[in-house]
Structure 1
Amino acid sequence: MTKDVLLSISGLHFDAAGAEADENEPIEVITPAVYYNKNGKHYVIYEEPVEGMAGTVRNTIKITGDSVFEIIKSGLASAHMVFEKDKINMTQYETPYGELLIGIHTRKIDVDVTENNIAIAVNYALDINDEKVADCNIDMNIKALER
């Protein structure tokens, strides 16, 4: 895999309160990123602009084997979210507007690594301050840029 990659992230949240299907629109982001492999773990780093604010959030994605996926945020927002199949992980999510206690109950995680591509699919339940708010899917694709 090359150092320079193209990262695409597609996320879908199903409101726990039962919102209409058309209200559950996917969020999609495609952005350049930097990839490296260290001690058998895959890392992807990218900057995320924050709408309406000066500054960014630096995101580090860490993939360990085929069972652990982490997102580490720093900057205007900070959190260390850990996704592990059949486990509930808690984290403090700090935003410019305050702090939230986030619970992530990962139901499914699939990681497919090839020479020039890494595909990740995660299904999880999201709790905020001990209240279930959504069922979520994240599909991520990390593709090597041609040289």
Structure 2
Amino acid sequence: MTKDVLLSISGMHYDVDGIEKGTEEAPIELITPASYYLKNGKHYVKYEEPVEGIPGVIKNTVKVSEDKVEMIKSGLSNTHMIFEKGKIHMTDYETPYGNLLVGVHTRVLDVQEEEKTIGVRVNYELDVNGDKLADCNIRMEIRARG
């Protein structure tokens, strides 16, 4: 894999009320250039995420291994979310509007590695301050540029 990659992230959040009513919220999609490196058998992807309506960016690092995905955010928001199948991880999520205690219960974690691409699929339950907020899906594709 090359140092310069293209990262595609898409996600869907189904809120608790929406599940009961059979509706879902709008998908979240981001395609951005990123930098990639491999260290100690783990894949690292770094990229910046603009925030609408607020000056500044969120610096993101995604760490991918066979059985765990970590998303580390710094800047306008700060957190270290861990996705590990069958486990619940708690973390503080600092936002410009205040802090939240976030719980992530990962149900599905699938990592597919090929020569020029890495695909990640995560299905998890998200709770905030002890209350279930949403069921979520994330798909990531890390692809060599050029």
TM-score normalised by the chain length of structure 2: 0.96
Match of 1:57 in 2: 58
Q: Percent identity?
A: 61
| Gaps in structure 2 of 5+ consecutive residues | none
Aligned pairs (5 A) from 1:1-147: 1-18=1-18, 21=22, 23-64=24-65, 66-146=66-146
What are the superposed Cα offsets for residues 100-120 of structure 1, whole Å, 9 maximum, x if unpaired?
000000001000011100000
Instruction: Answer yes or no: is the 8 Å Cα contact 2:18–2:24 preserved in 1.
Output: no
For the 8 Å contact 1:17–1:133, the answer to whether it is kept is no
Question: SS in structure 1 opposite 2:59?
Answer: strand
Q: Please list the CA deviations of residues 27-81 of structure 1 after superposition, one character each: whole Å capped at 9, or x if unmatched.
A: 11100000000111100000001111111000000012x2100000000100000
Tell me, which stretches of 5 or more residues in structure 1 are unaligned?
Answer: none
The CA RMSD over aligned residues, in Å, is 1.1
Cα distance in 2 for partners of 1:78, 1:136 equals 20
Secondary structure of the residue aligned to 1:17 is: helix
In 1, the alpha carbon distance for the partners of 2:18 and 2:115 equals 41
Q: TM-score, normalised by structure 1?
A: 0.95
Number of residues of Structure 1 aligned to a counterpart in Structure 2? 145
